[in-house]
Amino acid sequence: MKKTSTASFDILGISSATLCLIHCLAFPLLTLIPLGVSHNPWIDLAFAAIGVFAVAKITKKSHVMAVKVILWSSITLILASVIADLLIHHHSNLMYVGATGLIIGHFINFRAHKH
């Protein structure tokens, strides 16, 4: 049976990745409206830090290798995108793939231990 703390890390990961994906999809639309909103890669880094924390806690206790691979590869894509944005100011589409992968990985892990 899954411990409550692990389930809460899955919920944290799902919600954080979903908010990250909404942020990444909505930001280009906000730049079309002249509100003075500019892109801040530090927000992306904050989402990535929360994601690394949740992934580390979950993969430490998960026995499903596919979940571990999905979660770590997804967080690696996000971190690569954030680092590229910080260093060379290029917003990569890897962020979308990584956030979607995190949502899927956390959901699979949550469902696998729910039964």
First to last CA, the chain: 8
Model confidence at 2, pLDDT cuts 50, 70, 90, reads very low
Average pLDDT value for residue range 78-87: 88
d(CA 105, CA 72): 9
d(CA 64, CA 43): 31
Q: What is the pTM of this model?
A: 0.71
pLDDT > 70 fraction of the chain, expressed in percent and rounded:
75
Residue 57: pLDDT over 70: yes
Residue 84: pLDDT over 70: yes
Model confidence at 106, pLDDT cuts 50, 70, 90, reads confident
Average pLDDT value for residue range 19-46: 69
